[in-house]
């Protein structure tokens, strides 16, 4: 019996190359970060208009 399932396609909707931070290795999505190849947290030059938002996390149970 043949399966009538379509194969999953992995397509980048923006059709742009993926860029990672030179310091921490995270993928960059912000245009300024992508051009500098440094994420907002790793970039030594302050950015205007960037509001850093840190979230407190609960500890992982059992650790």
C-alpha angle 14/15/20, rounded to 5°?
Answer: 85
Q: Distance between CA atoms of 22 and 43, rounded to whole angstroms?
A: 10
pLDDT, one tens digit for every residue, the chain (63 residues) = 556 777 766 655 566 788 999 999 999 988 888 888 998 888 888 766 556 666 788 877 876
Neighbours of 40 (CB within 10 A): 16
- pTM for the model stands at 0.48
């Amino acid at each position: 019996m043949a399966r009538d399932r379509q194969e999953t396609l992995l397509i980048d909707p923006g059709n742009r190359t993926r860029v990672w931070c030179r310091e921490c290795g995270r993928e960059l999505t912000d245009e300024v970060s992508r051009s500098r190849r440094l994420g907002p947290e790793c970039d030594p030059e302050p950015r205007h208009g960037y509001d850093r938002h840190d979230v407190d996390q609960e500890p992982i149970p059992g650790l």
